[in-house]
Amino acid sequence: MPQEPPPGALSSAFPPPPTYYTHFTEENLAALKSHCLEDGTLPPADSLSDPLYYLVPPPPPDGSYRAFGEEWMVPERYPSLEEAGIRQLYPPTSMAAAAANGGWGGGVDKGKELTVDRTIELRRLSKSLLLNYLELVGVMGMAPEQFHEKTADLETILFNMHHLINEYRPHQARETLCLRMEEQLERTRREAEENRRVVAKVEDILAGLERVAKQADAICGGDGLGTGGLGGVVGEEKVDDGVAKARVRDMEAWEALVGMGG
């Protein structure tokens, strides 16, 4: 019953959406609801007529599936070198063994051995890469027509190195995630601390204002605001007058502050 996909749907870099999305209309959805089983689950797709058939999600694929022109394995795993037809030069890693057992992280401490193994193997491979190149240069000096064997060896070594590195990627991804989370933790904590600091500062200032208010109270109460008459010159008198007025204003403000319990 599934329709033929339009040309380009499977191979183009940006394929169009699958055509069956056009069947998700209000009427069809309502019709599907009426077909639902008693426990509310969807009926098997085979029992439905044509347009409704497409509304039921297909069962998850097993084995492998194709997406963006490539074959993907279920469960996802990196195909081994042997599967790609290349000789594996390093001893089978425990990750490969774990994958063979059906899934990642089969063993307790396998990852640890794995990473240590891996660096040793990679070093070994890089040494033999140089050595093989030396041999290739030697061969080129003596019998240039026999280069095939050595270049094939070099190629195998390069493939092996790349494969080892690629197998390492999930491990690195987790490691990177750890680092990012640590950074975020650090950032969050710093922000909380910064907020607390600001709060403390604000409270400090408010408490300070309260103290100043009390002091102002004491000073003004003692002075009786009698500063206005002290100045001999007219100009000074005016300034003093202004100061006195400002002080009265301030005092009232302080009182308001104290009243708030700031």
Partner 1 sequence: MADRLSQLQDAIDQMATQFFSALRYIGTHHDAVPVGNEAKVELARDLIFKSKQIEFLITSLPGIGVSEDEQQERLKSLETELKEAEEERCRAVQEREEAAEKLDAVIRRLRRF
Give contact residues for partner 1 (rule: CB under 8 A): 104-105, 108-116, 118-119, 122-123, 126, 129-130, 133, 136-137, 140, 154, 158, 161-162, 165-166, 168-169, 171-172, 174-179, 181-182, 184-185, 188-189, 191-193, 195-196, 198-199, 202-203, 205-206, 209, 249, 252-253, 256-257, 260, 262
Q: Could you say which DSSP state residue 1 is in?
A: -
167 touches 78 (CB < 8 A): yes
Nearer CB in complex with partner 1: 52/213: 213
Nearer CB in complex with partner 1: 10/198: 198
Amino acid residing at 220 = C
Least distance CB 45 / partner 1 (angstroms):
37
117 vs 244: CA distance, rounded Å: 85
164 vs 156: CA distance, rounded Å: 12
243 touches 234 (CB < 8 A): no
Least distance CB 211 / partner 1 (angstroms):
14
Amino acid residing at 87 = R
Q: Give alpha helix (H) positions in the chain.
A: 26-35, 50-53, 94-100, 110-142, 147-167, 169-223, 234-260
Least distance CB 103 / partner 1 (angstroms):
11
Nearer CB in complex with partner 1: 51/111: 111
SS3 of 212-227: the string is: HHHHHHHHHHHHCCCC
Nearer CB in complex with partner 1: 15/170: 170
Least distance CB 225 / partner 1 (angstroms):
16
Nearer CB in complex with partner 1: 45/251: 251
* Cis preceding-peptide flag for 170 (omega within 30 of 0): no
The two tokens of residue 139 are 């061969």
Least distance CB 193 / partner 1 (angstroms):
8
Least distance CB 169 / partner 1 (angstroms):
6
Nearer CB in complex with partner 1: 29/243: 243
